[in-house]
Structure formats: structure tokens, C-alpha cells
Structure 1
Amino acid sequence: MTQPFEQSAALAAISAIRHGFYGRRGGVSQGDFASNNMSYVQTDSVEATTANRRQVTAAMQFESDALCVLKQVHSATVRVVTGRQENPASHVGGSHPFEADAMVTNVPGLLLGILTADCTPILFADPEAGVIGATHAGWRGAAHGICEATVDAMVRLGADPARIIAAIGPTISGANYQVGPQFVADELKLYPNARNRVFVPEGDVEHFDLPGFVEDCLRDTGVLGIDRVGGCTYAHPDRYFSHRYATHHGTRTGRQIAVIGLT
């Protein structure tokens, strides 16, 4: 079965870049992880996850060992990737060599991959400089500055924020991200300017607009070319994995992947 993916029109127009925001459809995983789970950390089978990942690299026309992933820890740490990783499946149940929440590179032939299940995936490119990036932005990582750190790392490789295109992929929407007052206090302590992304629906507690906050963080870096791709992960459990939806319904969930690479 073909794995469907969504794309940013702006990134798709760059001939030297391939990218895609994948959802939960089209893979070989079973049960709660049906069918396109990309995470080895979950209790899906290693064989199924490996097969799903290999379908992605093939569809992007990269070699099967070109995919680079991270142990994502909700930090503001960015890794500059210069070569291929050892087999990620070898770290199942153990430590991953790279703890970070974003990657950047100017090396062709590498496919950067970010795993999410409600947090915001962001794919970046400066086509003139030949620099790309991929970021996992949960609320905590975004508040700690992961968006700004990614752009800074790209600039050190020769990128210019005015030329960077940033595509925000499928993520939980504010309408479905009920957080409450303690979350708001914690968020504003880290990032006081996030107050404009907090709202209270009638008869409800505080909600938070995560993709809107991520977009604000990106604009603060000088990035102007920002795309939004895909829908709300919580609202569309048939299309996307959602950790919050699974928690509310007493099930388990996998992780989808967003990828970008230089040819």
C-alpha cells in the first residue's frame, strides 16, 4: 500500500529538495499502531517499523540508510548532521546516540526525519545556501527556543533567515489542546510573549494554540516564508497518530514522520 504524505507548496517548488509530512496510513503496522508507525520506542514490532521507514526513504528516492533520526527530549538542542547514522533499530530499548530536537545539514543524500504525535514538526530550507533543517517543537521545546536555535544553526552553515522557508506540519490545534491554568503559568514563565496564544472557550478552561505559537517563534527569527501543512492530529485520528487522543481513549499510539533531504 502506498504511504500518502502531504507537502508544502513552497518546499515542493525547490528542485534540489525532497520532503513529506507522513501520517498514519499506508504502512504495515497492526493494531493500535496501524498502519504507518515510525517509532522504535513504542511497542510496535521492529520489523514493521523498519519496513515503514524503508518505504519512506524509497518514496523520497534516498538510500535506505540515509534516514537520520534523533532521541527527541523536548530541548532546544540542535545537531549538525554530516553523515549517515548507524542502524537506528540497534538502539531499541537502549540509549540513542543523539539526544536533540532538531537537525540541520548542507550535505546531499541525507534524509532528516522528525517523529511526532501532536507536537509540531517543522521542515526548513534555504535553497540558495543549500541548507535544510527539521525540528520537533512541543510547547516546552518551543518555549525554550528550539525554533530560534534551528535557524541559528542554519545561519552558521550559510543560510539567511530572509531566504528560509519553514513548513509547519500536522499538529494538535488550539481547539483540541486544553491545558488549564498551571500549564499557562509554566508556559508564560518560560516565554512571556506566548500569552497571545492562550484562549478560553466559553465554559471551558485555558487552551493553547501550539502551531500559532511556533509560527510566532519563527517570525521572531526573521523567517518570513512560513507554510502550514495538514490538519489537527487530535481531530483526525484516522489520518494521524495523536498521543492526546490515545490517552483520552485508553489506547496506545505510534508516531508519524516528517522528512526533508537535499538531492
Structure 2
Amino acid sequence: MADLGDAVEVNRAEVLAGLPHGFLGRRGGVSIGEAEGLNVGLGSGDEPAAVAENRRRAAEAVLPGASLASVYQVHSPDCVILGNALWSDAERPHADALVTDRPGVLIGVVTADCAPVLLADREAGVIGAAHAGWKGAIDGVTDSTIAQMISLGAERSRIVAAVGPCISQASYEVDGAFRDRFLDRDEENARFFAQGRDEHWQFALELYVATRLESAGIAKVERLGLDTYSAPERFYSYRRATHRQEASYGRQISLIAMG
């Protein structure tokens, strides 16, 4: 494994250029053991002091001195608005996305195979962050995020979005029942599944999320094309940890602010 004591790795998107933002991985943190590196998961079972330090380092790498707000993620389509009052980590609302028009505050979501999405309307000064696992994605978490951004003054035609590191199609095997859930919603969803081994399929989560964003009519969508599963030195992966029979796994964070 690469030296995880190196500087925090920040992956950025062209569509968000000029805004403080980043899709972070596991490099640059203080956690040890199976969650070695920049584990920011408050519910990961890691040492709380290590997670707190990792979250501080993550924020400093994107916007030094900024406060960080996140949500208690539950694989829902729900999106909340961060207003003038910052909630504490203990008070995080149960949701899978958040938006704000408050400058100088980092908002973020944590992932470990699910797709992180960062969004912005620069002219309106409105940003969003969404956690899109398959459950939230199919139920419309990105649609909810866009709707909440519009409620703060954003315009659909100006919103840009980037889909960050997540499990790739080549790494994401699912069974027929999983595929049927998507086909029951829309038969055209078959295009997101490639035939795998007998009675199994490979699901393109990143493409599905990006397509949902594009279908919402926003200005531009960028896919970073980074696979969490196949890069253990760079990213945490729930599925990889499960296959390795590891007792726990870390989470990476994706952050954005209106500087």
C-alpha cells in the first residue's frame, strides 16, 4: 500500500473550477488499521479523535479555516438546506444531500463506493452535495438536490455537477433482482447493466447518476471516472472490505464551498 501519511489528495472537477471543492480519498490521514488514512466516517467505529483530525485536515485541504457541515446519511432521496445556523456533528439531520447559499462554509458527503455529487450555480451563489448510492439514486436524491438549489435562487440552466469517485461498472456485480428494480422503474434502464456471469450483471452507477443529472436539464455534468474498488491505496470501498472480510471500512469525503 502507498504511504498514506502523504499530503491529502484532492481530486477536482473542471466544471467546478474556481470554486473551493474536492473529492478526497484516503491519503493524508492519521487513522490506522483497516481504516488507515483519511477516514472521515463518524459512524465507522474508528477512534473519534482520529476521525475529527481527518475531518479537520480534509477541510483545510479544500478551504482553510472554513467550517464543515454534513448530514447523517441514510440512503434516502432527502435533501436539506443549511441556513445561517450550523448544526453540530451530533445534530446532523437525517438526509443524503444538503444545499446552501451561505458563503465560506464547506458542505460535504461521505462515501465508500456510492457516488458523491457536487453541484453549483455560481451566479446565484448556491451549492449542493449529494450522496447517491443506488437506493438514493433511483429514488431521486439528485432531483431533490436540484429542487432545493432552485428554492434558494439557482436556475436549472446554470447548475453544473460533477460525479466523483465511486464503484465502477467493472467492479459492481449485482443479481437479477437488483436489475429488475431498475427495469420496473423504466425499461430503458437496461442500458446501465452489462451481462456478467450467469444470472448476474454489472451495474454502471456513475453513468446512471450522471444520466439522471443530465435528464434534469442542468447545464453540464462531469464524470471523474475514478473507481473506488480497484484503488485500495487511494480510496475506501465497502464492497472491497466485504470481499476481504474486513471488520470495518473507512469513508472518504467530498466537499464544496462558495468561497
Question: Which of the five TM-score ranges fits, normalised by the shorter chain?
Answer: over 0.9
Q: What does residue range 198-209 of structure 1 map to in structure 2 within 5 Å?
A: 198-201=193-196, 205-209=200-204
Indicate the residue corresponding to 1:8 in structure 2. 13
Q: What does residue range 204-215 of structure 1 map to in structure 2 within 5 Å?
A: 205-215=200-210
Q: What is the root-mean-square deviation of aligned Cα atoms in Å?
A: 1.6
Opposite residue 7 of structure 1, the aligned amino acid is R
Gap change, CA 1:185 and 1:255, over 3 Å in 2: same
1:75 maps onto 2:76 in alignment: yes
1:147 maps onto 2:142 in alignment: yes
**Residue in structure 1 matching 2:34, options 32, 35, 42:** 32
Q: What does residue range 191-230 of structure 1 map to in structure 2 within 5 Å?
A: 191-201=186-196, 205-230=200-225
Shift of 1:97: 3.7
Gap change, CA 1:107 and 1:179, over 3 Å in 2: same
Indicate the residue corresponding to 1:57 in structure 2. 59
Q: What does residue range 182-193 of structure 1 map to in structure 2 within 5 Å?
A: 182-193=177-188
Q: What does residue range 32-181 of structure 1 map to in structure 2 within 5 Å?
A: 32-63=34-65, 66-88=67-89, 91=90, 96-181=91-176
What SS does the aligned partner of 1:232 have? Answer: coil
**Residue in structure 2 matching 1:246, options 225, 241, 259:** 241
Paired with 2:87 and 2:244, the residues of 1 have a C-alpha distance of 36
Indicate if the aligned counterparts of 1:68 and 1:84 stay in contact, CA closer than 8 A.
no
Paired with 2:63 and 2:42, the residues of 1 have a C-alpha distance of 22
Indicate if the aligned counterparts of 2:193 and 2:204 stay in contact, CA closer than 8 A.
yes
Paired with 2:228 and 2:28, the residues of 1 have a C-alpha distance of 17
What SS does the aligned partner of 1:194 have? Answer: helix
Q: Deviations over 1:66-100 (max 9, x none)?
A: 10011111111110101353441xx3xxxx54000
Opposite residue 78 of structure 1, the aligned amino acid is C
**Residue in structure 1 matching 2:252, options 228, 231, 256:** 256
* 22-31 or 50-59, larger mean C-alpha shift: 50-59
Paired with 1:102 and 1:161, the residues of 2 have a C-alpha distance of 17
Opposite residue 26 of structure 1, the aligned amino acid is G
Indicate if the aligned counterparts of 1:84 and 1:110 stay in contact, CA closer than 8 A.
no
What SS does the aligned partner of 2:158 have? Answer: coil
Shift of 1:199: 1.4
Paired with 1:139 and 1:87, the residues of 2 have a C-alpha distance of 28
Opposite residue 173 of structure 2, the aligned amino acid is Q
Structure 1 residues not aligned, in runs of 5+: none
Paired with 1:62 and 1:189, the residues of 2 have a C-alpha distance of 46
Count of aligned positions: 253
Gap change, CA 1:192 and 1:158, over 3 Å in 2: farther
Indicate if the aligned counterparts of 2:69 and 2:87 stay in contact, CA closer than 8 A.
no
Structure 2 residues not aligned, in runs of 5+: 1-5
- Sequence identity of aligned pairs in percent? 38
Paired with 1:239 and 1:68, the residues of 2 have a C-alpha distance of 24
Opposite residue 243 of structure 1, the aligned amino acid is Y
Shift of 1:224: 3.4
Paired with 1:109 and 1:84, the residues of 2 have a C-alpha distance of 13
Shift of 1:201: 3.3
Indicate if the aligned counterparts of 1:62 and 1:111 stay in contact, CA closer than 8 A.
no
What SS does the aligned partner of 1:35 have? Answer: coil
* 139-148 or 180-189, larger mean C-alpha shift: 180-189
TM superposition score normalised by structure 1: 0.91
Gap change, CA 1:197 and 1:230, over 3 Å in 2: closer
Gap change, CA 1:242 and 1:9, over 3 Å in 2: same
Indicate if the aligned counterparts of 1:170 and 1:230 stay in contact, CA closer than 8 A.
yes
